[in-house]
Amino acid sequence: MKLFNTPINVIGFGFAGIECALFLAAHGNRVHIFGHETPLANCNCSFCRSRQKSKQEELCQSLLTRELSLLGSPLIAEEQRLLNTGYHGCIPSKVLEFGRELVKKSRNIEYFDACVHELNPKEITIVATGSNTDSCMADFLTKKLGSMRLLRTSAINPIVCNIDQTKLYHKEGDNMLYLPLSYNEYVDFLNAVLRICNKLGKFRFVENTVEDLVIKARDALKCFSFVPVFLPELESRPYAVVSLSTCDDGFVIENLSSKLPADCQLEIFRALPGFENAGLVRAADVIDSVHINTKYVLNDFNQCVMDENLFFAGSILGLSDFVDRVASGMATAICVNKYSYGQSMLALPEKSCIGKLCHKIISSNLQKKNENSHNYDIISSQVAVEGQNNIETLFSTSVDALAKYKEEYIYGKYV
């Protein structure tokens, strides 16, 4: 017997929203889905953006795809059909188009081409509006959740090249590289930033950018972006540390954003030891982008801890790849379906890749995370290297865990 007679509302007409609506409708729920048929933006597929995925990302996407196929995702089934027929265009765009047509044909789903600016607390609602959430909805969520729990901007980390790698240190079991700074080296960098700010004169400072932190207090940057890290190779702990990760184009300076002009950014980066001849591949930036701070908003079921009728899915959680967003939609819909029947919700097993992704989402503080630059590191680099030859072993672990999960879910062990 259904606990609620009203339809389940899905706000958002992208990958996560469509996956939620299709799953819920297939399980007998009436669904109202709201959104616009906007074209796919910022696609990361190989056709739209010539970038090489890391081994971690390749393995993660492969496992997620196979698990979603096992769980019966129609969007992933369409992706596999396109790949098998040798389609060479933008696959995510075709999958999105396919999903929207399925939604419109479903008897249990009613589509509304409209923006939603408020939510009824008495109705079950899934917010899957993405990082481009309408400003009115963002305002509503800010009032509901609080400004510290809804982030209105997103940081783009800079990428540099031609640096002296002998200055960098690596910790065992850690994928990051570290540049230690003495007190004097740290102050030299602050002075370089201050010189640029004085030269520019009037300038709009965006919160938590490098220039904003330097202006606020001497140690503000040290406490946010240049947090000291213990490095066993050094006799004493450095005063501050610059954290970097590698990419195909060079080195990403982590947790560092800026609204300064690109030439000014390069000038201040060259004030760092070993960066004297550095080149700037991609300037740091801050863009308008809405994400919830998941660590403080969600429980294990993607349910809002402040409103039990409110759930979230998709890129508003900080996800970027379309397969990740489909997985998030599936995970949320699975929980909402149980909730709508008044039964206990059941989180996906952490032995599965989807379960690992869901756990990573709810345990991450997005305030210092650049969700647009890298995928969730839910698979270690060592496992990723080994996994290229042993993917069947990894997948069989997921299959066993998901098979047990499906049995418990369908036959009502958790009711």
Please report, for the domain that includes residue 165, its CATH number. Answer: 2.40.30.260
Task: Find all residues with CB under 8 Å of 413, minimum gap 6, and list them.
Answer: 407
In a domain? residue 322: yes
Closest CA to 359 of 302, 297, 314, 277: 302
Task: Find all residues with CB under 8 Å of 85, minimum gap 6, and list them.
Answer: none
In a domain? residue 33: yes
Does the pTM of the predicted model rise above 0.85? no
Final residue before a domain boundary, out of 283, 315, 350? 283
Closest CA to 182 of 145, 220, 235: 235
Q: Which domain holds residue 204?
A: 158-283
Single-letter code of the amino acid located at 56: Q
In a domain? residue 3: no
Element (H, E) at 268: helix 262-269
Are residues 127 and 189 part of one domain?
no
Q: What are phi and psi of 75, to 5 degrees?
A: -70, -40
Per-residue confidence of the chain (415 residues) as pLDDT tens digits?
455 568 999 999 999 999 999 999 999 999 999 998 887 766 666 666 544 566 667 788 888 999 999 899 999 999 999 999 988 888 999 999 999 999 999 999 999 999 999 999 999 999 999 888 888 999 999 999 988 788 877 788 999 999 999 999 988 767 789 999 999 999 999 999 999 999 888 777 788 899 999 999 999 999 989 999 888 888 888 999 999 988 888 999 998 999 999 999 999 999 999 999 999 999 999 888 888 988 899 999 999 999 999 999 999 998 888 999 999 999 999 999 999 988 889 889 988 989 988 888 887 665 555 443 344 455 544 444 454 556 677 788 888 888 888 888 876 544 3
Token pair, residue 371, equals 């969700």
Please return the burial class of 165, using the count of CB atoms within 10 Å of its CB with bins 0-12, 13-18 and 19+. Answer: exposed
- DSSP letter, residue 303: B
In a domain? residue 206: yes
Are residues 84 and 50 part of one domain?
yes
Are residues 336 and 246 part of one domain?
no
**Alpha-carbon gap, residue 230 to 399, rounded angstroms:** 40
Are residues 144 and 205 part of one domain?
no
Final residue before a domain boundary, out of 228, 250, 283? 283
Strands 310-312 and 177-181 come out as unpaired
Q: How many domains does the chain have?
A: 2
In a domain? residue 62: yes
**Alpha-carbon gap, residue 29 to 204, rounded angstroms:** 49
- State whether residue 24 is helix, strand or coil: helix
Q: Would you mind telling me the total number of residues written for the chain in this entry?
A: 415
Are residues 114 and 22 part of one domain?
yes
Final residue before a domain boundary, out of 219, 254, 283? 283
In a domain? residue 2: no
